[in-house]
Chains A and B, each alone.
Chain A
Amino acid sequence: MIDTLRLTAEGAKGLLDRKEVSGPELFAAYLEAIGERDPELHCYLHVCEDSGGDGIPIALKDVIGTKGIPTTAGSRILEGYVPVYDSTVAAHCKQHGLRVLGKTNTDEFAMGSSTENSAYGPSHNPWDPTRVPGGSGGGSAAAVSAGLAPWALGSDTGGSIKQPSALCGNVGLRPTYGTVSRYGIVAFASSLDQVGPVAKNVRDCAYLYSIIAGRDACDTTTVESPKVVMPEGEDLKGVRVGIPRELNEHEAIEPGVRRAVEDAIELCRRLGAEVGECSLPRSVDFGLPCYYLIAPAEASSNLARYDGVRYGYRSPHSGDRLAMYENTRDEGFGDEPKRRILVGTYALSAGYYDAYYGQAQKVRTVIAREHAEAFERFDVLVTPTSPSVAFELGGRTADPLAMYASDLLTIPSCMAGLPGLNVPCGLSEGLPVGLQLIGPQFSENMLFRVGHALEQAIGFDVVPERLR
Protein backbone atom coordinates (compact mmCIF):
# COMPACT_ATOMS: atom_id res chain seq x y z
CA MET A 1 0.00 0.00 0.00
CA ILE A 2 1.49 3.32 -1.07
CA ASP A 3 0.51 6.23 1.18
CA THR A 4 0.74 9.14 -1.26
CA LEU A 5 -0.09 11.61 1.52
CA ARG A 6 3.17 10.85 3.31
CA LEU A 7 5.46 9.54 0.58
CA THR A 8 8.26 11.98 -0.31
CA ALA A 9 10.01 11.95 -3.68
CA GLU A 10 13.15 10.68 -1.95
CA GLY A 11 11.06 7.95 -0.34
CA ALA A 12 9.51 7.10 -3.71
CA LYS A 13 12.97 6.89 -5.27
CA GLY A 14 14.00 4.45 -2.51
CA LEU A 15 10.97 2.24 -3.19
CA LEU A 16 11.80 2.22 -6.91
CA ASP A 17 15.55 1.63 -6.41
CA ARG A 18 14.90 -1.30 -4.07
CA LYS A 19 12.26 -2.59 -6.51
CA GLU A 20 9.65 -2.64 -3.75
CA VAL A 21 7.23 -0.98 -6.15
CA SER A 22 7.35 -0.58 -9.92
CA GLY A 23 7.06 2.71 -11.82
CA PRO A 24 3.57 1.82 -13.12
CA GLU A 25 2.38 0.85 -9.60
CA LEU A 26 3.61 4.14 -8.19
CA PHE A 27 2.02 6.14 -11.01
CA ALA A 28 -1.26 4.24 -10.56
CA ALA A 29 -1.29 5.05 -6.83
CA TYR A 30 -1.20 8.77 -7.61
CA LEU A 31 -3.85 8.45 -10.32
CA GLU A 32 -6.04 6.72 -7.76
CA ALA A 33 -5.48 9.51 -5.23
CA ILE A 34 -6.29 12.06 -7.94
CA GLY A 35 -9.48 10.18 -8.80
CA GLU A 36 -10.44 10.19 -5.14
CA ARG A 37 -9.63 13.73 -4.05
CA ASP A 38 -9.26 15.94 -7.12
CA PRO A 39 -13.00 16.25 -7.83
CA GLU A 40 -13.15 18.24 -4.57
CA LEU A 41 -9.82 20.11 -4.83
CA HIS A 42 -9.51 20.69 -8.59
CA CYS A 43 -5.71 20.79 -8.61
CA TYR A 44 -5.38 19.42 -12.13
CA LEU A 45 -6.46 20.90 -15.47
CA HIS A 46 -5.25 17.82 -17.29
CA VAL A 47 -4.37 14.35 -16.01
CA CYS A 48 -2.09 12.08 -18.06
CA GLU A 49 -3.01 8.43 -18.34
CA ASP A 50 0.43 7.53 -19.61
CA SER A 51 3.17 10.06 -20.26
CA GLY A 52 6.21 7.78 -20.51
CA GLY A 53 9.10 7.35 -18.07
CA ASP A 54 9.35 4.87 -15.22
CA GLY A 55 10.65 7.04 -12.39
CA ILE A 56 9.13 9.33 -9.78
CA PRO A 57 5.83 10.95 -10.82
CA ILE A 58 5.63 14.74 -11.00
CA ALA A 59 2.97 17.40 -11.59
CA LEU A 60 3.72 20.47 -13.73
CA LYS A 61 2.05 23.84 -13.51
CA ASP A 62 0.08 24.48 -16.67
CA VAL A 63 2.35 27.32 -17.82
CA ILE A 64 5.09 24.74 -18.47
CA GLY A 65 5.08 23.66 -22.11
CA THR A 66 4.84 19.90 -22.57
CA LYS A 67 5.03 18.27 -25.98
CA GLY A 68 1.79 16.46 -26.81
CA ILE A 69 0.15 17.46 -23.49
CA PRO A 70 -2.31 20.39 -23.45
CA THR A 71 -0.90 23.62 -21.96
CA THR A 72 -3.43 26.36 -21.27
CA ALA A 73 -1.85 28.68 -18.66
CA GLY A 74 -5.33 28.72 -17.11
CA SER A 75 -6.63 30.78 -20.05
CA ARG A 76 -9.42 30.31 -22.57
CA ILE A 77 -7.16 31.88 -25.17
CA LEU A 78 -4.96 28.76 -25.03
CA GLU A 79 -7.79 26.23 -24.77
CA GLY A 80 -6.91 23.19 -26.86
CA TYR A 81 -3.32 24.30 -27.40
CA VAL A 82 -0.96 21.31 -27.53
CA PRO A 83 2.74 22.28 -27.65
CA VAL A 84 4.82 20.70 -30.40
CA TYR A 85 8.01 20.91 -28.33
CA ASP A 86 9.04 20.43 -24.70
CA SER A 87 10.13 23.25 -22.43
CA THR A 88 13.69 22.75 -21.21
CA VAL A 89 12.52 21.98 -17.66
CA ALA A 90 10.05 19.37 -18.94
CA ALA A 91 12.88 17.84 -20.98
CA HIS A 92 15.11 17.74 -17.87
CA CYS A 93 12.33 15.95 -15.97
CA LYS A 94 12.00 13.39 -18.74
CA GLN A 95 15.78 12.84 -18.88
CA HIS A 96 15.61 11.93 -15.18
CA GLY A 97 12.80 9.48 -15.84
CA LEU A 98 10.22 11.63 -14.07
CA ARG A 99 6.73 10.79 -15.18
CA VAL A 100 4.25 13.61 -15.74
CA LEU A 101 1.00 13.06 -13.83
CA GLY A 102 -0.66 16.09 -15.30
CA LYS A 103 -0.86 19.85 -15.55
CA THR A 104 -1.88 21.84 -12.51
CA ASN A 105 -4.27 24.74 -12.17
CA THR A 106 -3.05 28.33 -12.13
CA ASP A 107 -4.43 31.82 -12.19
CA GLU A 108 -4.73 32.87 -15.82
CA PHE A 109 -1.19 33.50 -17.15
CA ALA A 110 0.03 33.11 -13.55
CA MET A 111 -1.62 36.43 -12.65
CA GLY A 112 -3.15 36.14 -9.22
CA SER A 113 -2.73 34.94 -5.64
CA SER A 114 -5.57 32.44 -5.25
CA THR A 115 -6.15 30.48 -8.53
CA GLU A 116 -9.54 32.18 -8.70
CA ASN A 117 -8.45 33.91 -11.91
CA SER A 118 -8.19 30.54 -13.67
CA ALA A 119 -10.62 30.38 -16.59
CA TYR A 120 -11.31 26.77 -15.55
CA GLY A 121 -12.41 27.46 -11.97
CA PRO A 122 -10.43 27.70 -8.73
CA SER A 123 -8.50 25.04 -6.84
CA HIS A 124 -9.32 24.44 -3.17
CA ASN A 125 -7.05 24.31 -0.15
CA PRO A 126 -6.60 20.73 1.11
CA TRP A 127 -6.59 21.99 4.73
CA ASP A 128 -10.00 23.62 4.26
CA PRO A 129 -11.70 23.42 0.85
CA THR A 130 -13.70 26.60 1.52
CA ARG A 131 -10.38 28.46 1.34
CA VAL A 132 -7.98 29.27 -1.49
CA PRO A 133 -4.71 27.37 -1.96
CA GLY A 134 -2.92 30.60 -2.84
CA GLY A 135 -1.69 31.47 -6.28
CA SER A 136 -0.86 31.57 -8.92
CA GLY A 137 0.56 28.06 -8.50
CA GLY A 138 -2.23 26.89 -6.17
CA GLY A 139 -2.79 23.72 -8.18
CA SER A 140 0.79 22.49 -7.74
CA ALA A 141 0.93 23.39 -4.04
CA ALA A 142 -2.47 21.85 -3.24
CA ALA A 143 -1.61 18.69 -5.23
CA VAL A 144 1.58 18.13 -3.22
CA SER A 145 -0.17 18.69 0.12
CA ALA A 146 -3.10 16.44 -0.78
CA GLY A 147 -0.89 13.55 -1.90
CA LEU A 148 -1.87 13.99 -5.55
CA ALA A 149 1.80 14.32 -6.55
CA PRO A 150 5.02 13.69 -4.62
CA TRP A 151 6.40 16.97 -5.94
CA ALA A 152 5.67 19.55 -8.61
CA LEU A 153 7.03 22.44 -10.58
CA GLY A 154 5.63 25.92 -10.35
CA SER A 155 6.58 29.33 -11.66
CA ASP A 156 7.08 32.49 -9.63
CA THR A 157 6.94 36.09 -10.78
CA GLY A 158 6.05 37.88 -7.53
CA GLY A 159 5.30 35.00 -5.16
CA SER A 160 3.47 32.33 -7.17
CA ILE A 161 5.54 29.46 -5.76
CA LYS A 162 6.27 30.71 -2.24
CA GLN A 163 2.80 32.04 -1.32
CA PRO A 164 0.79 28.91 -2.32
CA SER A 165 3.36 26.74 -0.52
CA ALA A 166 2.82 28.88 2.58
CA LEU A 167 -0.97 28.60 2.36
CA CYS A 168 -0.89 24.84 1.69
CA GLY A 169 1.87 24.02 4.22
CA ASN A 170 4.69 22.70 2.07
CA VAL A 171 8.13 23.72 0.78
CA GLY A 172 8.52 25.90 -2.29
CA LEU A 173 11.61 27.48 -3.80
CA ARG A 174 11.75 30.52 -6.02
CA PRO A 175 15.30 30.11 -7.39
CA THR A 176 17.73 32.91 -8.16
CA TYR A 177 16.74 34.66 -11.39
CA GLY A 178 18.63 33.08 -14.29
CA THR A 179 19.36 29.69 -12.74
CA VAL A 180 16.46 27.82 -14.38
CA SER A 181 15.57 27.98 -18.07
CA ARG A 182 12.30 29.57 -19.16
CA TYR A 183 12.47 28.12 -22.68
CA GLY A 184 9.02 26.76 -23.47
CA ILE A 185 7.35 28.42 -20.46
CA VAL A 186 4.33 30.67 -21.06
CA ALA A 187 5.84 34.10 -20.41
CA PHE A 188 4.31 36.63 -18.01
CA ALA A 189 6.97 39.17 -16.93
CA SER A 190 10.31 38.16 -18.32
CA SER A 191 12.61 40.10 -15.98
CA LEU A 192 10.94 38.32 -13.04
CA ASP A 193 9.61 34.89 -14.11
CA GLN A 194 11.37 31.87 -12.58
CA VAL A 195 10.48 28.18 -12.56
CA GLY A 196 10.97 26.32 -9.30
CA PRO A 197 10.12 23.24 -7.22
CA VAL A 198 7.30 22.54 -4.75
CA ALA A 199 7.80 19.58 -2.41
CA LYS A 200 6.92 18.02 0.92
CA ASN A 201 10.32 18.78 2.42
CA VAL A 202 13.51 20.74 1.81
CA ARG A 203 15.58 17.78 0.62
CA ASP A 204 13.06 16.93 -2.12
CA CYS A 205 12.99 20.60 -3.05
CA ALA A 206 16.79 20.69 -3.32
CA TYR A 207 16.84 17.49 -5.36
CA LEU A 208 14.25 18.75 -7.85
CA TYR A 209 16.08 22.07 -8.12
CA SER A 210 19.27 20.18 -9.00
CA ILE A 211 17.37 18.48 -11.84
CA ILE A 212 16.05 21.68 -13.43
CA ALA A 213 18.85 24.21 -12.80
CA GLY A 214 21.59 25.03 -15.27
CA ARG A 215 22.49 27.16 -18.22
CA ASP A 216 20.41 26.59 -21.34
CA ALA A 217 21.47 27.73 -24.80
CA CYS A 218 17.78 28.23 -25.60
CA ASP A 219 17.37 30.84 -22.83
CA THR A 220 20.14 33.41 -23.02
CA THR A 221 19.26 34.86 -19.60
CA THR A 222 20.39 31.65 -17.87
CA VAL A 223 23.71 31.29 -16.09
CA GLU A 224 25.61 28.44 -14.45
CA SER A 225 24.82 28.04 -10.76
CA PRO A 226 26.65 26.36 -7.85
CA LYS A 227 26.28 22.60 -7.51
CA VAL A 228 23.42 21.65 -5.18
CA VAL A 229 24.48 20.26 -1.80
CA MET A 230 21.81 18.06 -0.22
CA PRO A 231 21.18 19.44 3.27
CA GLU A 232 21.86 17.14 6.21
CA GLY A 233 22.91 19.20 9.23
CA GLU A 234 20.55 19.98 12.05
CA ASP A 235 22.19 23.04 13.57
CA LEU A 236 22.63 26.63 12.44
CA LYS A 237 26.00 27.35 14.08
CA GLY A 238 27.72 30.31 12.47
CA VAL A 239 24.70 31.28 10.35
CA ARG A 240 23.83 34.99 10.55
CA VAL A 241 20.06 35.41 10.42
CA GLY A 242 18.64 38.88 9.72
CA ILE A 243 15.13 39.94 10.68
CA PRO A 244 14.01 42.80 8.42
CA ARG A 245 11.83 44.96 10.66
CA GLU A 246 9.45 46.21 7.95
CA LEU A 247 8.66 42.69 6.70
CA ASN A 248 8.07 41.29 10.19
CA GLU A 249 6.15 44.14 11.77
CA HIS A 250 3.88 45.18 8.89
CA GLU A 251 0.34 45.93 10.03
CA ALA A 252 -1.12 43.52 7.45
CA ILE A 253 0.48 40.51 9.18
CA GLU A 254 -2.07 38.50 11.16
CA PRO A 255 -1.20 37.96 14.84
CA GLY A 256 -1.19 34.15 14.48
CA VAL A 257 1.22 34.37 11.55
CA ARG A 258 3.47 36.71 13.45
CA ARG A 259 3.55 34.43 16.49
CA ALA A 260 4.46 31.33 14.47
CA VAL A 261 7.27 33.19 12.71
CA GLU A 262 8.59 34.63 16.00
CA ASP A 263 8.68 31.10 17.44
CA ALA A 264 10.70 29.95 14.41
CA ILE A 265 13.12 32.87 14.86
CA GLU A 266 13.60 31.84 18.50
CA LEU A 267 14.30 28.33 17.23
CA CYS A 268 17.02 29.74 14.94
CA ARG A 269 18.72 31.13 18.06
CA ARG A 270 18.47 27.80 19.86
CA LEU A 271 19.96 26.01 16.84
CA GLY A 272 23.01 28.25 17.15
CA ALA A 273 22.32 31.04 14.65
CA GLU A 274 23.35 34.64 15.33
CA VAL A 275 20.08 36.55 15.00
CA GLY A 276 19.95 40.31 14.47
CA GLU A 277 17.58 42.99 13.23
CA CYS A 278 17.94 44.86 9.97
CA SER A 279 15.92 47.28 7.90
CA LEU A 280 14.69 47.38 4.30
CA PRO A 281 13.03 50.79 4.64
CA ARG A 282 11.70 51.25 1.13
CA SER A 283 11.41 47.66 -0.14
CA VAL A 284 8.01 46.96 1.40
CA ASP A 285 6.22 50.28 0.87
CA PHE A 286 7.51 50.66 -2.67
CA GLY A 287 7.88 46.99 -3.66
CA LEU A 288 4.23 46.45 -4.44
CA PRO A 289 3.75 49.62 -6.57
CA CYS A 290 7.05 48.91 -8.34
CA TYR A 291 6.00 45.33 -9.12
CA TYR A 292 2.52 46.35 -10.31
CA LEU A 293 4.08 48.64 -12.89
CA ILE A 294 6.94 46.48 -14.12
CA ALA A 295 5.07 43.15 -14.25
CA PRO A 296 2.04 44.52 -16.18
CA ALA A 297 4.32 46.44 -18.54
CA GLU A 298 6.21 43.29 -19.43
CA ALA A 299 2.97 41.29 -19.52
CA SER A 300 1.41 43.70 -22.01
CA SER A 301 4.35 43.01 -24.29
CA ASN A 302 4.45 39.23 -23.75
CA LEU A 303 0.69 38.81 -24.20
CA ALA A 304 0.74 40.65 -27.53
CA ARG A 305 1.51 37.29 -29.15
CA TYR A 306 -2.03 36.01 -28.53
CA ASP A 307 -3.61 37.26 -31.71
CA GLY A 308 -5.62 34.30 -33.01
CA VAL A 309 -3.23 33.71 -35.91
CA ARG A 310 -0.76 30.94 -35.10
CA TYR A 311 -2.30 29.04 -32.18
CA GLY A 312 -4.95 29.28 -29.53
CA TYR A 313 -8.44 30.75 -29.65
CA ARG A 314 -9.78 32.76 -32.58
CA SER A 315 -13.02 34.71 -32.30
CA PRO A 316 -15.78 33.72 -34.70
CA HIS A 317 -16.59 37.45 -34.86
CA SER A 318 -13.87 38.27 -37.34
CA GLY A 319 -15.01 40.53 -40.15
CA ASP A 320 -11.59 41.88 -40.95
CA ARG A 321 -8.20 41.19 -39.45
CA LEU A 322 -8.23 44.04 -36.95
CA ALA A 323 -11.65 42.98 -35.68
CA MET A 324 -10.34 39.40 -35.46
CA TYR A 325 -7.41 40.51 -33.25
CA GLU A 326 -9.55 42.71 -31.00
CA ASN A 327 -12.44 40.28 -30.55
CA THR A 328 -10.12 37.28 -30.10
CA ARG A 329 -8.30 39.08 -27.30
CA ASP A 330 -11.46 40.43 -25.65
CA GLU A 331 -13.17 37.03 -25.67
CA GLY A 332 -10.02 34.97 -24.94
CA PHE A 333 -8.58 36.89 -21.98
CA GLY A 334 -10.21 37.09 -18.55
CA ASP A 335 -10.44 40.22 -16.41
CA GLU A 336 -7.03 40.05 -14.71
CA PRO A 337 -4.90 39.75 -17.87
CA LYS A 338 -6.97 42.58 -19.37
CA ARG A 339 -6.35 44.79 -16.35
CA ARG A 340 -2.63 44.11 -16.53
CA ILE A 341 -2.42 44.55 -20.29
CA LEU A 342 -4.18 47.91 -19.97
CA VAL A 343 -2.08 49.12 -17.00
CA GLY A 344 1.08 47.96 -18.77
CA THR A 345 0.19 49.50 -22.11
CA TYR A 346 -0.61 52.76 -20.36
CA ALA A 347 2.62 52.71 -18.29
CA LEU A 348 4.66 52.17 -21.47
CA SER A 349 2.83 54.66 -23.66
CA ALA A 350 4.31 57.91 -24.90
CA GLY A 351 4.11 60.66 -22.30
CA TYR A 352 3.75 58.29 -19.33
CA TYR A 353 6.78 56.02 -19.77
CA ASP A 354 9.26 58.02 -17.64
CA ALA A 355 6.82 58.69 -14.80
CA TYR A 356 5.70 55.07 -14.46
CA TYR A 357 7.86 52.39 -16.03
CA GLY A 358 11.13 54.35 -15.94
CA GLN A 359 10.57 55.39 -12.33
CA ALA A 360 9.63 51.83 -11.32
CA GLN A 361 12.91 50.54 -12.77
CA LYS A 362 14.77 53.03 -10.59
CA VAL A 363 12.80 51.89 -7.54
CA ARG A 364 13.92 48.42 -8.44
CA THR A 365 17.54 49.53 -8.10
CA VAL A 366 16.76 50.96 -4.65
CA ILE A 367 15.21 47.66 -3.55
CA ALA A 368 18.17 45.64 -4.86
CA ARG A 369 20.63 47.95 -3.04
CA GLU A 370 18.77 47.70 0.26
CA HIS A 371 18.89 43.92 0.11
CA ALA A 372 22.58 43.92 -0.89
CA GLU A 373 23.33 46.08 2.14
CA ALA A 374 21.48 43.67 4.45
CA PHE A 375 23.49 40.76 3.05
CA GLU A 376 26.74 42.46 4.07
CA ARG A 377 25.75 41.57 7.65
CA PHE A 378 23.55 38.50 7.21
CA ASP A 379 23.57 35.18 5.33
CA VAL A 380 19.81 34.83 5.26
CA LEU A 381 16.75 36.97 6.02
CA VAL A 382 13.65 35.58 7.74
CA THR A 383 10.10 36.93 7.33
CA PRO A 384 6.57 35.57 7.06
CA THR A 385 5.86 34.44 3.46
CA SER A 386 2.21 35.54 3.44
CA PRO A 387 0.72 38.16 5.77
CA SER A 388 -2.31 35.89 6.27
CA VAL A 389 -3.22 32.23 6.35
CA ALA A 390 -5.36 30.86 3.50
CA PHE A 391 -8.33 33.17 2.95
CA GLU A 392 -11.91 32.32 2.00
CA LEU A 393 -12.72 31.66 -1.65
CA GLY A 394 -14.30 34.83 -3.04
CA GLY A 395 -12.90 36.94 -0.20
CA ARG A 396 -10.67 39.16 -2.35
CA THR A 397 -12.00 38.69 -5.90
CA ALA A 398 -14.01 41.92 -6.02
CA ASP A 399 -11.05 44.11 -5.09
CA PRO A 400 -7.93 43.71 -7.27
CA LEU A 401 -5.81 45.78 -4.86
CA ALA A 402 -6.71 43.55 -1.89
CA MET A 403 -5.65 40.53 -3.94
CA TYR A 404 -2.40 42.24 -4.98
CA ALA A 405 -1.54 42.86 -1.31
CA SER A 406 -1.38 39.07 -0.74
CA ASP A 407 2.15 39.23 -2.19
CA LEU A 408 3.34 42.16 -0.10
CA LEU A 409 6.13 40.18 1.58
CA THR A 410 7.24 37.98 -1.34
CA ILE A 411 7.53 40.71 -3.96
CA PRO A 412 10.52 42.79 -2.73
CA SER A 413 13.10 39.99 -3.00
CA CYS A 414 11.68 38.96 -6.40
CA MET A 415 12.38 42.48 -7.69
CA ALA A 416 16.04 41.98 -6.71
CA GLY A 417 16.28 38.56 -8.41
CA LEU A 418 16.92 36.85 -5.06
CA PRO A 419 16.07 33.26 -4.18
CA GLY A 420 13.41 32.58 -1.56
CA LEU A 421 12.33 29.41 0.20
CA ASN A 422 9.04 28.82 1.98
CA VAL A 423 9.15 26.43 4.92
CA PRO A 424 6.03 25.65 6.98
CA CYS A 425 6.50 26.81 10.57
CA GLY A 426 3.23 26.10 12.36
CA LEU A 427 -0.50 26.59 12.36
CA SER A 428 -2.75 29.56 13.00
CA GLU A 429 -6.51 28.99 13.20
CA GLY A 430 -5.78 25.41 12.10
CA LEU A 431 -4.17 26.59 8.85
CA PRO A 432 -0.49 26.51 7.82
CA VAL A 433 1.85 29.46 8.33
CA GLY A 434 4.87 29.79 6.05
CA LEU A 435 8.29 31.16 6.84
CA GLN A 436 10.19 32.91 4.05
CA LEU A 437 13.96 32.53 3.87
CA ILE A 438 15.65 35.01 1.54
CA GLY A 439 19.30 34.84 0.54
CA PRO A 440 21.70 36.62 -1.80
CA GLN A 441 21.75 35.56 -5.45
CA PHE A 442 22.97 31.95 -5.90
CA SER A 443 22.64 31.15 -2.17
CA GLU A 444 20.21 28.24 -2.66
CA ASN A 445 22.49 25.88 -0.72
CA MET A 446 22.38 28.19 2.31
CA LEU A 447 18.56 28.36 2.07
CA PHE A 448 18.41 24.56 1.90
CA ARG A 449 20.71 24.23 4.92
CA VAL A 450 18.73 26.68 7.05
CA GLY A 451 15.37 25.39 5.80
CA HIS A 452 16.30 21.77 6.49
CA ALA A 453 17.56 22.47 10.01
CA LEU A 454 14.43 24.47 10.85
CA GLU A 455 12.18 21.83 9.32
CA GLN A 456 13.75 19.13 11.52
CA ALA A 457 13.41 21.28 14.63
CA ILE A 458 9.84 22.42 13.91
CA GLY A 459 8.53 18.96 13.03
CA PHE A 460 5.56 20.32 11.06
CA ASP A 461 3.21 17.60 9.82
CA VAL A 462 2.64 18.41 6.14
CA VAL A 463 -0.43 16.19 5.82
CA PRO A 464 -3.56 18.32 6.22
CA GLU A 465 -5.34 17.43 9.47
CA ARG A 466 -8.62 16.55 7.75
CA LEU A 467 -6.86 14.00 5.52
CA ARG A 468 -4.85 12.23 8.25
Chain B
Amino acid sequence: MAEISRELLLHVAELARLELREDELARLEVQLNDILAAVSKVAELDLTDVPATSHPLDVVNVWDEDEPRPCLSVEDALRNAPERDGDYFKVPPGGSS
Protein backbone atom coordinates (compact mmCIF):
# COMPACT_ATOMS: atom_id res chain seq x y z
CA MET B 1 0.00 0.00 0.00
CA ALA B 2 1.07 3.56 -0.67
CA GLU B 3 2.88 5.58 1.99
CA ILE B 4 1.66 9.06 2.76
CA SER B 5 4.50 11.44 1.91
CA ARG B 6 4.62 15.01 3.17
CA GLU B 7 3.53 16.16 -0.27
CA LEU B 8 0.53 13.81 -0.33
CA LEU B 9 -0.42 14.79 3.24
CA LEU B 10 -0.45 18.46 2.23
CA HIS B 11 -2.61 17.61 -0.78
CA VAL B 12 -5.12 15.64 1.34
CA ALA B 13 -5.17 18.43 3.95
CA GLU B 14 -5.97 20.90 1.19
CA LEU B 15 -8.83 18.69 -0.03
CA ALA B 16 -10.12 18.58 3.57
CA ARG B 17 -9.71 22.36 3.99
CA LEU B 18 -7.30 22.04 6.92
CA GLU B 19 -4.44 24.50 7.28
CA LEU B 20 -2.10 22.30 9.33
CA ARG B 21 0.72 23.84 11.31
CA GLU B 22 4.29 22.56 10.96
CA ASP B 23 4.26 20.72 14.33
CA GLU B 24 0.96 19.04 13.41
CA LEU B 25 2.31 17.92 10.04
CA ALA B 26 5.27 16.18 11.65
CA ARG B 27 3.07 14.34 14.17
CA LEU B 28 0.27 13.48 11.77
CA GLU B 29 2.59 12.17 9.08
CA VAL B 30 3.82 9.44 11.44
CA GLN B 31 0.39 8.67 12.91
CA LEU B 32 -1.40 8.52 9.57
CA ASN B 33 1.15 6.11 8.15
CA ASP B 34 0.71 3.87 11.21
CA ILE B 35 -3.07 3.99 10.85
CA LEU B 36 -2.99 3.30 7.11
CA ALA B 37 -0.61 0.38 7.60
CA ALA B 38 -3.11 -1.10 10.07
CA VAL B 39 -6.24 -0.55 7.99
CA SER B 40 -4.55 -1.80 4.82
CA LYS B 41 -5.19 -5.26 6.25
CA VAL B 42 -8.52 -5.19 4.40
CA ALA B 43 -6.53 -5.82 1.19
CA GLU B 44 -5.58 -9.32 2.40
CA LEU B 45 -9.01 -10.68 1.54
CA ASP B 46 -9.94 -11.58 -2.01
CA LEU B 47 -13.45 -10.16 -2.26
CA THR B 48 -13.83 -9.89 -6.01
CA ASP B 49 -17.31 -11.42 -6.06
CA VAL B 50 -18.58 -9.96 -2.79
CA PRO B 51 -21.04 -7.07 -3.07
CA ALA B 52 -20.40 -3.89 -1.07
CA THR B 53 -22.55 -2.94 1.93
CA SER B 54 -23.24 0.77 2.13
CA HIS B 55 -26.07 0.51 4.63
CA PRO B 56 -26.85 -2.18 7.22
CA LEU B 57 -30.60 -2.43 6.51
CA ASP B 58 -32.44 -3.32 3.32
CA VAL B 59 -34.40 -0.12 3.01
CA VAL B 60 -36.32 1.39 0.17
CA ASN B 61 -36.34 5.01 -0.82
CA VAL B 62 -38.82 7.14 1.10
CA TRP B 63 -40.83 9.85 -0.59
CA ASP B 64 -42.54 12.68 1.19
CA GLU B 65 -45.50 14.73 0.06
CA ASP B 66 -44.30 17.95 -1.56
CA GLU B 67 -46.21 20.29 0.73
CA PRO B 68 -45.13 23.54 2.36
CA ARG B 69 -44.68 23.23 6.12
CA PRO B 70 -43.50 25.61 8.84
CA CYS B 71 -39.72 25.88 8.96
CA LEU B 72 -37.09 27.88 10.86
CA SER B 73 -37.58 31.63 10.85
CA VAL B 74 -34.82 33.73 9.29
CA GLU B 75 -33.98 34.97 12.76
CA ASP B 76 -33.56 31.42 14.11
CA ALA B 77 -31.54 30.34 11.09
CA LEU B 78 -29.14 33.22 11.67
CA ARG B 79 -29.07 32.98 15.46
CA ASN B 80 -25.77 31.03 15.59
CA ALA B 81 -24.07 32.84 12.69
CA PRO B 82 -20.51 33.98 13.46
CA GLU B 83 -21.22 37.12 11.44
CA ARG B 84 -24.33 38.38 9.70
CA ASP B 85 -25.34 41.26 7.48
CA GLY B 86 -29.07 41.83 7.64
CA ASP B 87 -30.72 38.59 6.59
CA TYR B 88 -27.49 37.11 5.20
CA PHE B 89 -24.57 35.09 6.53
CA LYS B 90 -21.52 37.29 6.10
CA VAL B 91 -18.24 35.73 4.93
CA PRO B 92 -14.87 37.18 3.89
CA PRO B 93 -14.29 37.77 0.18
CA GLY B 94 -13.46 34.65 -1.83
CA GLY B 95 -9.89 33.42 -2.21
CA SER B 96 -8.60 31.13 -4.90
CA SER B 97 -9.52 27.48 -4.35
CA gap between A360 and B59 in the complex, in Å:
21
Contact check, B15 vs A345: say whether CB atoms are below 8 A apart. Answer: yes
Say yes or no: A84-B92 contact (C-beta < 8 A), given A330-B18, A441-B57. Answer: no
When A178-B59, A314-B83 are in contact, do A355 and B1 touch as well, CB less than 8 Å? Answer: yes
B41 touches A285 (CB 8 A): yes
Q: What are 26 A-B residue pairs whose CB atoms fall within 8 Å in the complex? A: A82-B80, A178-B59, A191-B56, A192-B56, A217-B64, A286-B41, A292-B39, A320-B92, A321-B93, A323-B95, A330-B19, A330-B24, A339-B35, A341-B18, A346-B32, A349-B12, A356-B39, A359-B45, A360-B42, A361-B52, A363-B47, A365-B47, A366-B50, A400-B34, A401-B35, A441-B57
Q: In the complex the two chains form, is A324's CB within 8 Å of B50's CB?
A: no
The distance from the CB of B47 to the nearest CB of chain A, in whole angstroms, is: 4
Which residues of chain A come closer than 8 Å to B81, judged between CB atoms?
Answer: 309-311
Q: Is the CB of B80 within 8 A of A308?
A: no
Chain A CB within 10 A, most for which of B18, B32, B53: B53
Consensus secondary structure, chain A interface? helix
Task: Give min CB distance, A407 to chain B, whole Å.
Answer: 13
B59 pairs with A326, CB closer than 8 A: no
Task: Using known A-B contacts A82-B79, A84-B77, A342-B9, determine if residue A349 contacts B15 with beta carbons closer than 8 Å.
Answer: yes
| Contact yes or no, B19 A81, CB < 8 A | no
B3 shortest CB reach to chain A, Å: 11
Inter-chain contact B13/A342, CB cutoff 8 Å = yes
Inter-chain contact B16/A359, CB cutoff 8 Å: no
Residue of A whose beta carbon sits closest to that of B11: A349
Return chain B residues, CB-CB under 8 Å to A177: 56-57
Q: Which of A204-223 contact B (CB under 8 A)?
A: 217, 220-221, 223
Q: In the complex, what residues of A have CB within 8 A of residue B59's CB?
A: 178, 221, 223
Q: Which of A270-327 contact B (CB under 8 A)?
A: 282, 285-286, 288-290, 292-293, 300, 304, 307-314, 318-327
Q: Which residue of B lies closest to A352 (CB)?
A: B2
Closest-CB distance, A4 to chain B (whole angstroms): 34
**Within 8 Å CB of B28, what residues of A?**
338-339, 342
Chain A residue, CB-CB nearest to B52: A361
Q: Which residues of A contact B67 (CB under 8 A)?
A: none
B54 touches A361 (CB 8 A): yes
- Given A85-B76, A282-B45, 9 more A-B residue pairs with CB atoms under 8 Å apart are A286-B45, A289-B38, A311-B82, A312-B82, A323-B19, A342-B16, A343-B39, A352-B2, A359-B45
Q: Which residues of B come within 8 Å of A, CB atoms?
A: 1-2, 4, 8-9, 12-13, 15-21, 24, 27-28, 31-32, 34-36, 38-43, 45, 47, 50-57, 59, 61-62, 64, 72, 76-77, 79-83, 89, 91-97
B34 lies within 8 A of A401 (CB):
yes
Shortest CB–CB separation between residue B20 and chain A, in angstroms?
A: 6
Cβ of B40 to closest chain A Cβ, rounded Å:
7
Question: What is the CB-to-nearest-CB distance from B57 to chain A, in angstroms, rounded to a whole number?
Answer: 5
Instruction: Give the complex CA separation of A86 and B52 in angstroms.
Output: 34
Q: Which residue on chain A has the smallest CB distance to residue B82?
A: A314
A362: CB under 8 A from chain B?
yes
Closest A residue to B17 by CB, please name it. A325
- Given A329-B17, A346-B12, A339–B95 Cβ distance below 8 Å? no
Contact present for B39 and A362 (CB under 8 Å): no
B46 to A: closest C-beta gap in Å: 10
Residues of chain B within 8 A (CB-CB) of A217 are: 64
CA–CA, A321 to B82, complex, Å? Answer: 13
* Shortest distance from the beta carbon of A429 to any chain B beta carbon, whole Å: 28
Known: A221-B57, A221-B59. A318 touches B76 (CB 8 A): no
- Whether A289 and B72, one on each chain, are in contact in the complex, defined by CB atoms closer than 8 angstroms, is no
